[in-house]
Amino acid sequence: MTDVDQLAAHLDAAATSRVAVPQLNAATGLDVPTAYRVQEAVVAHRLARGERLVGVKLGLTSRAKMAQMGVDEVIWGRLTDAMWIPDGGTIRLADHIHPKAEPEVAFLVERNAVTAVAPAIEVIDSRYVDFRFTLPEVVADNTSASGFVLGAWQPVPAGIDNSGVLLEVDGRVVQLGSTAAILGDPRRALPDAVRLAGACDLELPDGSVLLAGAATAAVPLRSGTHVRVTVERLGSASLRVAP
Ligand code: 0L1
Ligand code: MG
């Protein structure tokens, strides 16, 4: 039987010590519903340190990532205020294990509706060795959530279902995609998030941030680099990695 609190403490210790842990032993018997209970307990450690829940993220939202994991359902995780990185802000590799950045679209949720949209960068940082995990393992690890940058909020424009997306590192385009890679249309993120989080008794209060998912593969973050995401019709968001 899975010891939810013990696994949560194990994953939280990996995050706070910045030392990756091996994939979990099959003997833990972790399944997806139990993994969401572990995730809640992992995030409870953050909340006990004074962090505040500010939203949710969806993961495995592209056909490519789903096929890679052999699943046909998206996963979701919790975002806290401590994960927020100001647009143009700087992060330190030493505060992470092996972080990667991916281009996303963020929505602002109020009264159960989307009221604004922004270009975004998600920093993912698996707490498992080599960024390798099974589906329950990554769910328990809060879907690798580590940080997020939000560009400027604006009303949702027409055409956001298929807008070009660029991920640049030091001014060089390293990933190119479309928002259509996010669930076929990123606007599907809200009903999916409400359904998935609702199944775990979590509602999205007014002002919640919703990271809809990645439009391209993630890129590893290296010291001293500048990362910019540009989403057609929405503009850009960026971060710097300290040298
Ligand atoms: O945000 C994401 O799509 C990541 C979900 C977890 C899988 C990963 O860490 O690549
Ligand atoms: Mg993501």
**Which CATH number fits the domain that encloses residue 8?**
3.90.850.10
Range of the domain at 193: 4-241
CB crowding 211-240: b at 16 or more within 10 Å, else e: bbbbbbbbbebeeebebbbbbbebebbbbe
- Give alpha helix (H) positions in 18-120: 32-48, 63-69
Which residue's C-alpha comes closest to atom 5 of ligand 1? 59
| 113-133 average pLDDT score | 97
Q: Is 214 in the pocket of ligand 1 (CB under 6 A)?
A: yes
The burial class, CB within 10 Å (0-12 / 13-18 / 19+), for 76 is buried
Q: Is the pLDDT of residue 26 over 80?
A: no
pLDDT greater at residue 1 or residue 127: 127
What pLDDT sits at residue 1? 61
d(CA 114, CA 157): 12
| Mean pLDDT on 107-126 | 97
CA 211 to chain centre: 7
181-218 pLDDT tens trace: 999 999 999 999 999 999 999 999 999 999 999 999 99
Residue 30 makes CB contacts below 8 A (sequence gap 6+) with 2, 7, 24, 38, 136, 137, 140
| Ligand 1 pocket mutation pick from 36, 42, 60 by most atoms within 8 angstroms of CB | 60
Q: How many domains does the chain have?
A: 1
> 27: CA distance to ligand 2 center in Å?
29
Q: Cβ(21)–Cβ(52) under 8 Å?
A: no
